Amino acid sequence: MRFIFTRDNLKKLTPSVRPVVSNGKMIGLTEADEPKPYIVSDCGAHTPPGLCLYVGKKRKTFYLQVRVGRKVTKVAVGDYPGLNVNTEDPLTDVRQIAGDLGRAMKRGEDIQQLRAEERQIVATTLGDVMASYLEQYKSGKDPRANSVKAIEAAIRRLKPWLGKSLRSIGAQSVQEIWQRIAVEQGHRTAAEQTLMWCRAAFNVHIDEQQANRNKASFDGDLLVNPFNIARRHMRTRAELEAEYQDRKVRNPLENTPEKLGTWLDALWAKRQRNRDAVDYMLLTLLLGARKSETAKLVWRDRLLAEGLDETEFSVLTLPKGGGHGQVTFRGTKSGAIHSVPLGQFATWLMRVRHQDQPSQLYVFPSSSKNPKTESAYYNSPREFVASLRSTLEKLSVEKAWSAHVASLAPELAASNEARRDFERMYRPQWVFTMHDLRRTFCTVAVNIEGMPYAVVQQLMNHGQMGDVTARYGKPTQDSLRRYMQKLEDEILRHATELPRLDGEVVCER
């Protein structure tokens, strides 16, 4: 029996009744003598040839019969009422789905394989997408340990949503994630980073699906990224900079005797007790490097002596017979190889380390005594930075208290109330991080009269893809060496406890 399928007449069909058909339309029903399954065919104007409905005792199933060459193939399209006619939804309208299936069969595609792919895509969850993205990132061209940790942290924060199907994620889910992390937990930066990684993972997933569309039996899957809407929550660069300034979370050391000079003297005073940490922080400052870049440096001569591949390491070269050292960083944030000369003091400091550690490959080997420590290089400056801050803050408090006492009448100076008032008024003066050393380097550099901007950009290894002039014209190594020496002299100018160098001769102060 053939008639035009409608949502109303399909609903009425059961094994206990038979349709009454006239001129291609179902005009009524008649009771069956005995309930038996049967098949009816659709003859609607926009129906693909061969679409039929099996009316069984337990369920009703749509089938499609397609002639491919000499062979007629029958394939199940799906069960009613999950699929129906005139739904205007490509995922549930049986005529649209059957049309796509028929065209795929005509092209000779394996329908069962396509079905399996479709089921897999429908069952894909946010957790699947994030896990796949993490694995792809780890096996990519230049995976960064910090980024891997950030992605893993984002996945942990997304735990309540990881089991959700991609098809169920929309603006509401994005808002729920933001509400939970940014508002309820009070971690706006973490929320921004989490949604950023979600957006990146979705973009990769969408690209993969678009690349596979030619072999699919349906019109794509994820045509939009629901996490693009998260941009409305993100702070702009101007807003971030204003917030950093208000919170004072970016603190380059002022190039004054009271700040940078005091900091250098306090740092050097700790060298007898923790030489590795002091030398590491000094070199990081004098190179304007990121902390992870300095930590991974190896001695070039020892690297070559061990037969290792130089292109896989960041190396520090000390020329024989004197002269300035050179550092070549690989795996930098910009992705470029960054080569920068050492100043006179940094070269001397590294020569002393090289002589005193004849068996070490890394310039700053791991300080851990635990044999299970994974890192072969120094990667624990946090405790030392906290100790240095504490030392400097103690000196600052003593100085400020003395000034405060001097301003009080003698009878008030010794009172407990005076001390409490001072503690309420006092604000920490030494709030800095390892990355603030890089900011200090850059701040000192741009304030040196005559220092070309191109030299500062090169020494900082800042990206130049948007600056055509910078890509065409680069400072020479001789030019970088001259300006690096000026910069080093300016950074160390206010220190009173560091050794003074006369050529290669060390003169203790």
Per DSSP, the chain holds a count of helices (H) and strands (E) of: 20, 13
Question: Which helix (H) or strand (E) element contains residue 24?
Answer: none
What residues contact 394, with CB distance under 8 A and at least 6 apart?
Answer: none
Render pLDDT for 166-225 as a digit per residue (tens, 0 to 9): 878 888 999 999 999 999 999 999 999 999 999 999 999 888 877 766 654 444 444 678
d(CA 126, CA 160): 10
Q: Which CATH architecture has domain 126-234?
A: Orthogonal Bundle (1.10)
Band of pLDDT at residue 230, cut at 50, 70 and 90: confident
d(CA 351, CA 67): 82
Q: Looking at residue 470, what is its pLDDT?
A: 54
Does 365 sit behind a cis peptide bond, omega within 30 degrees of 0 on the bond before it?
A: no
Separation in Å, CA 471 to CA 376, 456, 463, 468: 35, 14, 10, 5
- Asked whether 443 and 255 are in contact (CB, 8 A), the reply is yes
Render pLDDT for 329-375 as a digit per residue (tens, 0 to 9): 998 887 788 899 999 999 999 999 999 998 899 999 987 666 666 67
Q: What long-range pairs does 502-505 form, CB within 8 A, spacing at least 24?
A: 504/322, 504/348
Render pLDDT for 30-50 as a digit per residue (tens, 0 to 9): 998 899 999 999 998 888 889
What residues contact 338, with CB distance under 8 A and at least 6 apart?
Answer: 293, 328, 329, 332, 461
Q: Report the DSSP pairing between strands 338-341 and 326-329.
A: antiparallel
Separation in Å, CA 26 to CA 42, 47, 407, 433: 11, 16, 103, 79
Residues 2-108: name the CATH superfamily: Integrase, DNA-binding domain (3.30.160.390)
What residues contact 488, with CB distance under 8 A and at least 6 apart?
Answer: 286, 343, 344, 345, 346
d(CA 182, CA 188): 4
Q: Looking at residue 343, what is its pLDDT?
A: 94
d(CA 176, CA 157): 12
pLDDT for 101 beyond 50: yes
Report how far Cα 116 is from the mean position of its chain's Cα atoms.
32
- Asked whether 379 and 366 are in contact (CB, 8 A), the reply is yes
Q: Copy the structure tokens of residue 357.
A: 């550690």
Min mean pLDDT across 109-123, 196-210, 211-225, 279-293 is at 211-225
d(CA 198, CA 174): 10
DSSP calls for 150-169: HHHHHHHHTGGGTTSBGGG-
